Chain A
Amino acid sequence: MSETFLEVRNLVKIFGKLTAVDNVSFKVEQGEVVTLLGPSGCGKTTTLRMVAGFEKPNAGEVEIAGRVVVSTNRRIQVPPERRDIGMVFQSYAIWPHMTVFENVAFPLKVRHANRQEIKERVEKTLDLVGLANFSDRPAILLSGGQQQRVSLARALVYSPSILLLDEPLSNLDAKLREQMRIELKRLQQQLGFTVLFVTHDQIEAMSLSTRLAVMNQGHIEQLGPPQEVYERPQTPFVEDFLGRILRFRGTVTERQSNYQVVEFDGVKNVQVRVSDGAEQAAVGKKILVAIRPEDVRVERDHAPGRGNIIPCDVENVLHLGREYELVLRVADRVCTITVPRESGSKVGQTIGLYLPAEHLRVWAATAALEETGTEQTTRAGSAARDFRAG
């Protein structure tokens, strides 16, 4: 228990008719970066704001560093300033009437630190975020990236129990975002602070998190280490939201103890073995088979005799510069994958897509899922090498 820095228990937040956060629970251990990831409106920011104390939950509890700060049952609602948290806002919320130094010194001033200590700690923190020479600059004259650093310094300067980051990188341009992401990772590893991070950007979530929680419509769909969530999504939503996906319709034709055999709609005489047991469908049932495009390999040999290879026609080839985009037709549906330049595919050619059994996942066919799979742009991982080898 002493390891747990933040615990959220059964949080519920209702806005009018909408349940924005629906019974959310999770823990953040010391030194961890836990990310709430999801599309806009999934309740991630509301959850964060309840942890910070800016929203009052309709039900649930929040415990920070062993102290209950929110409990609807016990009528506890500690105001934000007494929660010992640091927060970085999406808009940075830099106070425009203060200099960089004054912005960062503010939390120490309200804590009545003495002048010498304030000076030392502010300078140390500014140095840490790479703004050592900007102390006297009016905060508003800084660039976006610099404001971001001030905001971070201001949240770190008093060493709060936990740092809350609300989409901190989303207002930066692409290059700066990448740079700040790496910087944030470095700072976190160096100082070891505990972070609750909210973002809709999966790259940020994947690269920064110790564990990540994918949220959808107010609840957590899956919570785990990024790699696990990516490779073993437990719901179609998670699979679709993280990374890219190819989906095929099919029918189960055979069931064995450790695999099932599927025949894709419109592809005659091709049997695909699937090791996934997530959707235990009976023989004859309609299902969807999904695979990450980087797990697909393009094979020149498309003879139906070999296992798990489906033939498809190259309808179009688009030159993207460093790679090609192939528009492929598989029976009645079109999907696109990208392959390296050297692959040499031509329009009209028939190629084979090798779908490794261990990477295929099976989901029950629902109308909502089928829609997402009709046109797909995806990327084939190591396909080219195999293509040439074949």
Chain B
Amino acid sequence: MANVTVADSIPQRRILTVEPSSLLIGLLFIVVAFLVLTPLLLLLVGSFQLARPGEAPVYGLAGWKRAFSDPSILEALWNTVSLAVVRQAIALVIGVILAWLIARTDLPWRKGLEFMFWISFFLPSLPVALGWILLLDGKFGLLNQWLQALPFVSGPIFNVYSYWGIVWIHMTTSLGVKVLLLAPAFRNLDASLEESARSCGATPAMTLIRIVVPLMMPAILVSTVLGLIRSMEAFEIELLVGVPIGLFVYSTKIRDLVAYEPPDYASATALGSIFLLLLLVMVALQRNYLGQRHYRTVTGRGFSTNPTSLGRWRWPIFAMVALTAFSVTVVPVAVLLMGTFMRAFGYFNIANPWTMENWQRVLADPSLIRSLWNTIFVGLGTAVTGAIFYSLIAYVVVRRHFKGKAALDFISWLPWAVPGILMGLALLWTVFETRILLFLYGSVYLLIIALFIKSMPFGVQISKSVLVQLGAELEEAARISGGSWLQTYGRVVVPLLTPTLIVVGLLGFMSAARDISTVVLLGSSQSRTMALLALDYAFGGQFERGSVVAFMTSMVVIVIALISHFVGRKVGIGER
């Protein structure tokens, strides 16, 4: 009898200990799915809803009809696609060359150069755009003024307010991500794969085309798709230099449709849905393509990475790369800093052009103080919720076995494919449509939610990669010693994961400091962050104040990036 009692008690205890954990997983799943999927679904539904928010819903196709018939919308669509393709094509070629030079040759100072591209990856585009406006404006642009001083030049050479102006500014903000993604891929390529082609009789050019490029295809593809998504996201550059000349892309068009009375949500959401579907198809194709191929190369002990000698071209090429690296970092920021001390942005010829007034005024401006606090609040909110939830999602996906694990993994990754402006639009629409969430409108909490969703894929991916490296044995030992999985998570996983959590939190904070496109539709004058304030100043023509705030923003971002870099290096998080 005693035996039976013991046997009976075991299953009971098991049921009791398993229940709360599966409850927690279920809860996590529901929260993540709700946050990610609801806005996207409502975005689709919203495109068929014609009535204004708050009124009785009327369903119809008018929004889609307008989206496909309004010539200005069609033009914006065309501009978006054409700008994205042109930019990606140029950036890809230059990016591959730069990454190869940095990763596989004896280029001088290649580590320093890579670091500069890394910095440029984090630089927000608004300050960069302001810097370039100061340099390339048709009337007062510095470069134009200098060039016109030359005897054979008459009239401005460059005009940043143009199609190619947009391409140029974007180039300086998108080379960094290309180098960042491609350089490690080049570095990990086993040199013996190239050497074997050479020993078989292939020339270096043939080896590049037949061996290196196909092997690099996954990295090239990922960076291209990411680049396309980011160019869909692009907002502030197009707003500053496109809208003044009537050149709209879909993101600025969506803002146009939503921001002015009467707002046309149906068309805006229809336009958004088109891009959402387009991107999802593109991303699905890319995943499919990568999934089919087996790119697991054998890296035995013979792994060698001999840098290719550039010979006598070494220093000329260095000069070119260094010039590029400076153009994407130091040049725009230095010019921007100079701009903050100007009485009138870009006017050097007036009497007494230099002043401290901009700084004094901005620092005394209550709206700056408010936006500063907003930034800190939104930043901390995103950082803390992100660090907790992302690591929990990652832990559950990596370590726990349950139904719907793959779905959770997929949903947490989905925001990767959704441009920020669409996420913002979808959330805005969700708030309006669901009424009960209306209290969020105009509050900083909405910004936190938006950035939480937007930063989710990256945060979860980082935590997952670190967890995989940690190995399961440490936790299994804790379980054997009698800890439940939640205790194990709290006592063993979290302490081991702390540096990672710090990095994830810092990146969340950084997104609050730099992101514009995700939050631009959500922020009110009460809840706007510094980046949004800078945009409002700059778009409202107050370049001097805008540049002060933009400069402060970029410094905050760079400092956070550096801290997370040094913390991250300790736990072996790749420099991405």
Q: Is the CB of B201 within 8 A of A140?
A: no
Q: Is the CB of A81 within 8 A of B201?
A: yes
Q: Is the CB of A97 within 8 A of B298?
A: no
Q: Is the CB of B199 within 8 A of A86?
A: yes
- Nearest chain A CB to B294's CB is how many angstroms away? 5
Given contacts A166-B302, A170-B301, contact A87 B294 (CB under 8 A): no
Q: Is the CB of B296 within 8 A of A96?
A: yes
A154 to B195, CA, bound (A): 13
User: What interface size band does chain A fall in?
Assistant: 35 or more
Tell me if A75 is interfacial: C-beta within 8 Å of chain B: no
Tell me if A74 is interfacial: C-beta within 8 Å of chain B: no
Given contacts A140-B296, A140-B297, contact A93 B192 (CB under 8 A): yes
Given contacts A80-B199, A91-B303, contact A97 B296 (CB under 8 A): no
Q: Is the CB of B198 within 8 A of A89?
A: no
> Could you say which of B199, B302, B306 contacts A164, with CB atoms under 8 Å apart?
B199
Which of B17-25, B113-121, B206-214 sits within the interface?
Answer: B206-214
Q: Is the CB of A90 within 8 A of B300?
A: yes
- Chain B, Cβ-Cβ closest to A88: B196
A95 to B202, CA, bound (A): 14
Q: Is the CB of A96 within 8 A of B297?
A: yes
> Could you say which of B192, B202, B296, B297 contacts A81, with CB atoms under 8 Å apart?
B202
Tell me if A384 is interfacial: C-beta within 8 Å of chain B: no
Tell me if B190 is interfacial: C-beta within 8 Å of chain A: yes
Q: Is the CB of A97 within 8 A of B215?
A: yes
Q: Is the CB of A91 within 8 A of B301?
A: yes
Tell me if A72 is interfacial: C-beta within 8 Å of chain B: no
Q: Collect the chain A residues with CB atoms within 8 Å of residue B295's CB.
A: 96-97, 140
Given contacts A81-B199, A107-B200, A110-B201, contact A141 B298 (CB under 8 A): no
Q: Is the CB of A91 within 8 A of B299?
A: yes
Return the CB mask of B199-243 against A: 1 if under 8 Å, else 0.
111111010001100110100000000000000000000000000
Tell me if A195 is interfacial: C-beta within 8 Å of chain B: no
Tell me if A111 is interfacial: C-beta within 8 Å of chain B: yes
- Nearest chain A CB to B198's CB is how many angstroms away? 4
Q: Is the CB of B200 within 8 A of A158?
A: yes
Tell me if B193 is interfacial: C-beta within 8 Å of chain A: yes
Given contacts A89-B302, A93-B192, contact A141 B294 (CB under 8 A): yes
Given contacts A81-B203, A97-B217, contact A90 B198 (CB under 8 A): no
Tell me if A26 is interfacial: C-beta within 8 Å of chain B: no
Q: Is the CB of B195 within 8 A of A54?
A: yes
Tell me if A378 is interfacial: C-beta within 8 Å of chain B: no
Q: Is the CB of A96 within 8 A of B294?
A: yes
A35 to B248, CA, bound (A): 70
Given contacts A89-B302, A96-B295, A106-B210, contact A52 B199 (CB under 8 A): yes
Tell me if B197 is interfacial: C-beta within 8 Å of chain A: yes
With most chain B CB atoms within 10 A of its CB, the pick from A54, A84, A151 is: A54
Tell me if A85 is interfacial: C-beta within 8 Å of chain B: yes
- In chain A, positions 166-184 with a C-beta closer than 8 Å to chain B are 166-167, 170-171
- Nearest chain B CB to A193's CB is how many angstroms away? 15
A141 to B292, CA, bound (A): 12
A90 to B302, CA, bound (A): 5
Q: Is the CB of B190 within 8 A of A93?
A: yes
Tell me if A79 is interfacial: C-beta within 8 Å of chain B: yes
Q: Is the CB of B193 within 8 A of A93?
A: yes
With most chain A CB atoms within 10 A of its CB, the pick from B198, B201, B295, B302 is: B201
- Nearest chain B CB to A90's CB is how many angstroms away? 3
Q: Collect the chain A residues with CB atoms within 8 Å of residue B193's CB.
A: 93, 95
A55 to B200, CA, bound (A): 16
Q: Collect the chain A residues with CB atoms within 8 Å of residue B312's CB.
A: none
Given contacts A80-B195, A87-B196, A91-B190, contact A110 B298 (CB under 8 A): no
Tell me if A147 is interfacial: C-beta within 8 Å of chain B: yes
Tell me if B293 is interfacial: C-beta within 8 Å of chain A: yes
- Nearest chain B CB to A99's CB is how many angstroms away? 12
- Chain B, Cβ-Cβ closest to A94: B298
Tell me if A43 is interfacial: C-beta within 8 Å of chain B: no
- Nearest chain A CB to B298's CB is how many angstroms away? 6
Q: Collect the chain B residues with CB atoms within 8 Å of residue A83's CB.
A: 199
A106 to B197, CA, bound (A): 8
A263 to B296, CA, bound (A): 62
Q: Is the CB of B196 within 8 A of A93?
A: yes
> Could you say which of B192, B214, B306 contacts A89, with CB atoms under 8 Å apart?
B192
Q: Collect the chain B residues with CB atoms within 8 Å of residue A141's CB.
A: 294
Tell me if A60 is interfacial: C-beta within 8 Å of chain B: no
Q: Collect the chain B residues with CB atoms within 8 Å of residue A52's CB.
A: 195, 199
A147 to B200, CA, bound (A): 17
Return the CB mask of B163-198 against A: 1 if under 8 Å, else 0.
000000000000000000000000000101101111
With most chain B CB atoms within 10 A of its CB, the pick from A52, A90, A93, A170 is: A93
- Nearest chain A CB to B303's CB is how many angstroms away? 6
Tell me if A324 is interfacial: C-beta within 8 Å of chain B: no
Q: Is the CB of A97 within 8 A of B293?
A: yes
- In chain B, positions 287-324 with a C-beta closer than 8 Å to chain A are 293-303, 306
- Chain A, Cβ-Cβ closest to B306: A54
A-B contact pairs, 24 of them (CB 8 A): A55-B306, A80-B195, A81-B202, A86-B199, A87-B196, A89-B196, A91-B192, A91-B300, A93-B193, A93-B196, A93-B302, A95-B193, A95-B214, A96-B297, A106-B200, A110-B200, A110-B201, A110-B202, A110-B210, A140-B297, A140-B298, A155-B199, A158-B201, A164-B199
Interface residues of B (CB under 8 A from A): 190, 192-193, 195-204, 206, 210-211, 214-215, 217, 293-303, 306
Lowest 5 A-B CB distances belong to which pairs? A90-B302, A107-B200, A93-B196, A91-B302, A91-B300
Interface residues of A (CB under 8 A from B): 52-55, 79-87, 89-97, 106-107, 110-111, 138, 140-141, 144, 147, 151, 154-155, 158, 164, 166-167, 170-171
Contacts A81-B201, A96-B295, A106-B202 known; 13 new A-B pairs at CB < 8 A = A53-B198, A54-B306, A81-B200, A89-B195, A89-B196, A91-B299, A91-B302, A110-B201, A110-B210, A111-B201, A144-B298, A155-B199, A166-B302
